[in-house]
Amino acid sequence: MLLAIETLCLIGRIILGKNVNGWMYRSLVITEDYSSIYHPCNRMKTHPILSHITDNKNNCKILDGKAYENFTAYNLKKNNSKILILGGSTASGFYQNFSSGHTLPMILDKKTKNNKLDVISYAHGSYASLNELQTLITEVRRLDTNIKLIISYNGINDLSDRDGSPDEKNYYYPFMSKKLFKMFYNQTWIDSRIKEFEFFPNLQSLIRFLQKKNAMIKKDKRINFPNKNDFYKEVDAIERWSSNIKIMKAVSNALGIECITILQPVMGIKGVQSKLPRGKKSVDYKLLADLNKNRSDYIEILNSFYDEAKIICKELSFCYDLSNIAPPNGQNYTDQRHHSKKGNYIIAEEIYQIIKEKIINK
């Protein structure tokens, strides 16, 4: 009976045009597909404070660099000073698929090596400004090295649609991103004990679909939270972001480290980031046209946040607005949130000029 059900599930996946998981057995050890959640560079595990960190088990191959337990670095030199990057997937060194390994920290490291500076990236997918602040406090200050500059590269992961409903998420956890809130509110844990293989993969896929559960997620509903009360205030997305980057600056000052925030560029922001390129067959044209057609709510939320963030950033001496850099001119984006290799080189050059101003030319 199991053989028959497994076979029917396989046929069903083929008819629906879904990826074939193998038949009876499949290996979960994937080394070629960098977009897979099972790839060593993309595997995650729950962290009690930071929400999640990598679970690469030293099997993630980084272009011109190395993956450590929770950060990436590039040919570290013992006597070199360090530049540390905080942020989300757009500043991470782990994700090799978005730009063929030419990540923002890798490019910056190449540019700063002649200045005896090494770049380390603690950025991870879905990290918002709160996660950066927590990383700074729990991880960065324990590093036994000379850190010259901390760069907080953010914006896109702090949008208001990550807050959830004001009645719950803003009330209970005013400075917590939606991803982190869900982690604690539902007691959701990423299962790091991912098996290297599984039997009856198509049948298991059907069961997961019927249960509407992600294969990597487990929930514990025994945790109950108290009802909201007047002790907690509602904090909107822009106030949360502004507060978090200011606290990061204060913590960095206490550690004797220079700290800057960069308001990152992203497709869909008013101005050059929302202007369709001439080439209608280009990747950027297709991405932006799809964004305009199918994601009007997202564009509204995006611009609502960035309109205010730009004003706040302009008033802060440590904040640099690069939101207009590397617009969709045809080849600058891989998807609607992540820049391509070409786009990353443009952004890295702008950041390098800031680095020269802040620490190299001083």
For the ranges 3-17, 30-44, 197-211, the lowest mean pLDDT is seen at: 30-44
Please state, in angstroms and rounded to a whole number, the distance separating the CA atoms of residues 151 and 90.
13
Kindly report the average pLDDT of the chain as a whole number.
Answer: 84
- For residue 185, the model assigns a pLDDT of 44
Q: Which contacts of 58-66 are long-range, i.e. CB under 8 A and separated by 24 or more positions?
A: 59/31, 60/94, 61/96, 62/93, 62/94, 62/96, 62/101, 62/106, 63/96, 63/100, 63/101, 63/102, 63/103, 63/106, 64/101, 64/106, 64/109, 64/110, 65/93, 65/106, 65/109
Mean pLDDT of 245-261: 97
Give the model confidence (pLDDT) of 295-344 as tens digits.
999 999 999 999 999 999 999 999 999 999 999 999 999 999 999 999 99
For 357, the token pair is 């101003």
Into how many domains does the chain fold?
A: 1
Is 331 inside any structural domain? yes
For the ranges 199-213, 251-265, 274-288, the lowest mean pLDDT is seen at: 199-213
Mean pLDDT of 271-298: 95
Please state, in angstroms and rounded to a whole number, the distance separating the CA atoms of residues 125 and 42.
9
Q: How confident is the model at residue 221 (pLDDT cuts 50, 70, 90)?
A: very low
Q: What is the CATH number of the domain that holds 337?
A: 3.40.50.1110
- For residue 187, the model assigns a pLDDT of 42
Please state, in angstroms and rounded to a whole number, the distance separating the CA atoms of residues 93 and 84.
12
Question: Residue 184 pLDDT > 80, yes or no?
Answer: no
Is 24 inside any structural domain? no
| Residue 227 or residue 11, greater confidence | 11
CB 325 within 8 A of CB 351: no
Question: Residue 211 pLDDT > 50, yes or no?
Answer: yes
Q: How confident is the model at residue 165 (pLDDT cuts 50, 70, 90)?
A: very low
Give the structural domain span for 158: 31-187+223-360
Please state, in angstroms and rounded to a whole number, the distance separating the CA atoms of residues 195 and 27.
9
Is 212 inside any structural domain? no
SS3 per residue for the chain: CHHHHHHHHHHHHHHHCCCCCCECEEECCCCCCCCCCCCCCCCEEEECCCEEEECCCCCCCCCCCEECCCCEECCCCCCCEEEEEEECHHHCCCCCCCCCCCCHHHHHHHHHHHHCEEEEECCCCCCCHHHHHHHHHHCHHHCCCCEEEEEEEECHHHCHHHCCCHHHHHHHCCCCCHHHHHHHHCCEEECCCCCCEEECHHHHHHHHHHHCCCCCEEECCCCCCCCCCCCCCCCCHHHHHHHHHHHHHHHHHHCCCEEEEEECCCCCCCCHHHCCCCCCCCHHHHHHHHHHHHCHHHHHHHHHHHHHHHHHHHHCCCEEECCCCCCCCCCCECCCCCECHHHHHHHHHHHHHHHHHHHHCC
Is 218 inside any structural domain? no
Classify residue 45 as exposed, middle or buried by CB count within 10 Å of its CB (0-12, 13-18, 19+). middle
Please state, in angstroms and rounded to a whole number, the distance separating the CA atoms of residues 113 and 81.
10
Give the model confidence (pLDDT) of 185-195 as tens digits.
444 455 544 55
Question: Residue 346 pLDDT > 90, yes or no?
Answer: yes
- For residue 175, the model assigns a pLDDT of 45
- For residue 163, the model assigns a pLDDT of 44
- For residue 146, the model assigns a pLDDT of 94
Is 40 inside any structural domain? yes
